[in-house]
Amino acid sequence: MLKKLTDFVRGSQVWKSIFRHGPPTTARNRAMVMLANVFLHLHPVRARASGIRLSFTWCMGGLTFFLFLVETVTGILLMFYYRPVAASAFNDIVALREDVPLGIMREIHRWGAHAMVITVWLHMFRVFMTGSYKPPREFNWGIGVVLLVVTLLLSFTGYLLPWDQLAIWAVTVGTNMARAHPAIGHEGPGSNLLVIDDIQFVTSGDDIRYALLGGRFVGEGTLLRFYVLHCIAVPVIAMVLMAVHFWRVRKDGGISGPL
């Protein structure tokens, strides 16, 4: 009965138009699955048994990517309800739990972000412990380091958006450091060098912190800037870098293994 049904579905024109090969029960068809599907095509058809062992990679790179996708989906849902203006941001966040059906999207988004920070650290830890940064993978390790920073920035820019005490003070503490930038911060050593006739060029009104916050303090301007950074700028950078990262994993000979 079931067999008949699956045979019918598999034989239908609709099914055949989607999947261009038979069921993945033979080696040939299993290879075809990987080649015909654009997403699975990220992977090679065959891999070394050592490289895909769970205890070797801990799947941490893959899970980091998966969590990035979770964040993208839940983030889009949150954007339906959230307005990045100081007057409404806080109330919108409260409403997410009170008024929105199945209101755990914010929770999943927040815990997913924390989890992504953890998995990315563990991924780096694994890559180091297997010596996978050694030639020919030096460049991809470098891309990875930038991805790590981008992951932290994603998390950090999102931290401000609830617009509560926790948010603005954590971001105040974090961005206070920027005013001490040695060259472009108004309290950094360099700001005293860029002085002509007593006119200071790097001041609290035009230094790097001002650019980051859109003002001298964490305020309305900061909220909008962080929102745009969090929802558009940083994710786009992350996606581009991930594309490069995955491409290079393949081009550098797949998951590393003994030479």
Partner 1 sequence: MLETIDGIFNFLTRPEIVFPGAFVLLYLSLRYARVWTRPPIALGIGVFLAALFVYSCAPGVGIAEGHEQFVESAAKADNVPITMMLGLLYFFFWLSLRKAVVNDERIEKGLPPVEADEKSRKVLVWPDLVYTELIAMVGVTVVLIVWALLLPAPIEEPANPGRTPNPAKAPWYFLGLQEMLVYFDPWLAGILIPALIMVGLICIPYIDRNPKGNGYYTLKERYGAIFVFLFGFLVLWVLQVFIGTFLRGYGWNFFGVYEKWDVNKVEPLLNIDVSEIFYVKMLGMYEPENTLVRELPGILLVLGYMTVLPVLFAVTKGKKLFRELGAVRFGIMVNLGLIMLAVPIKMVLRWLFNLKYIVNIPEWQLNI
Residues in region 122-181 near partner 1 by CB under 8 A: 122, 125-126, 128-135, 137-138, 141-142, 145-146, 148-149, 152, 155-156, 159, 162-170, 172-174, 176-181
Residues 92-131 close enough to bind ligand HEM by CB under 6 A = 120, 123-124, 127, 130
Q: Integer distance in angstroms from the first to the last C-alpha of the chain?
A: 51
Which one of partner 1, ligand HEM, none interacts with residue 18, CB within 5 to 8 A by kind?
A: none
Task: Based on the shown chain and the rule CB under 8 A, indicate whether residue 225 belongs to the binding site for partner 1.
Answer: no
Cβ-contact 202, 186 below 8 angstroms: yes
Two structure tokens written together for 220: 């309305």
Q: Which residues lie below 8 Å from residue 174, measured CB to CB, with a gap of 6+?
A: 156
In the shown chain, the binding pattern of residues 57 to 96 toward partner 1, with x for contact by CB under 8 A and - for none, equals: -xx--xx--xx--x---------------x---x--xx--
Which one of ligand HEM, partner 1, none interacts with residue 172, CB within 5 to 8 A by kind?
A: partner 1
Binding ligand HEM (rule: CB under 6 A), the pick from 81, 90, 141, 217 is 141
Nearer to ligand HEM, 186 or 245 (CB): 245
Which one of ligand HEM, partner 1, none interacts with residue 242, CB within 5 to 8 A by kind?
A: ligand HEM
Which value, to the nearest 10 degrees, does the dihedral of the CA atoms of residues 41, 116, 123, 141 take? 70
CA angle 73/76/81 to nearest 5° reads 135
Which value, to the nearest 10 degrees, does the dihedral of the CA atoms of residues 246, 247, 250, 255 take? -20
The number of residues making up the chain comes to: 259
